[in-house]
Amino acid sequence: MEIISLSRRLAAEIWIEKEHFFSALRNLWVAHHGYRQSNMEDEAIDAGLHWIDIGLTEVSENAPTMETAIADATPRSAGEPMARVWIHPDDLGMMYDWLSTRIDDESAHGVLNDATQVLQS
């Protein structure tokens, strides 16, 4: 699981460089959960914070859950528009809840504060 998580985390960085942010979100989500299963808490925190930071672009009840987005993922055809960058508030809440008890870094608290404002609106 550690190798899968690491490869998904690195893939997310490539997607970010290519500005394929929804693909990056999916890969960060998989990496985060894999790191958690492997008891790699620092790496799970890092992937989770990056997921929130990108995902706060748009949070909507109409967004697919990450579970659905991952299950339904298919390669994009040439000329097809990029996927919308949005996350479901239930996923945001789950990620926030897990991270909020593990963060002691001031910059990480800034990301969580942004998430709090979105969750409360």
Q: What's residue 99's pLDDT?
A: 96
Contact 103, 109 (CB under 8 A): yes
The ranges assigned to domains in the chain are 2-120
SS3 101: coil
List the chain pLDDT tens, one digit each, 121 residues.
788 999 999 999 999 999 999 999 999 999 999 999 999 999 999 999 999 999 999 999 999 999 999 999 888 778 888 889 999 999 999 999 999 999 888 778 899 999 999 999 8
The predicted structure's pLDDT at residue 52: 97
- Give CA separation, 79 vs 20, 76, 82, 102, 118, in Å: 14, 8, 9, 42, 33
Cβ-contact 51, 32 below 8 angstroms: yes
pTM over 0.85: yes
Give the pLDDT confidence score for residue 74 in this predicted structure. Answer: 80
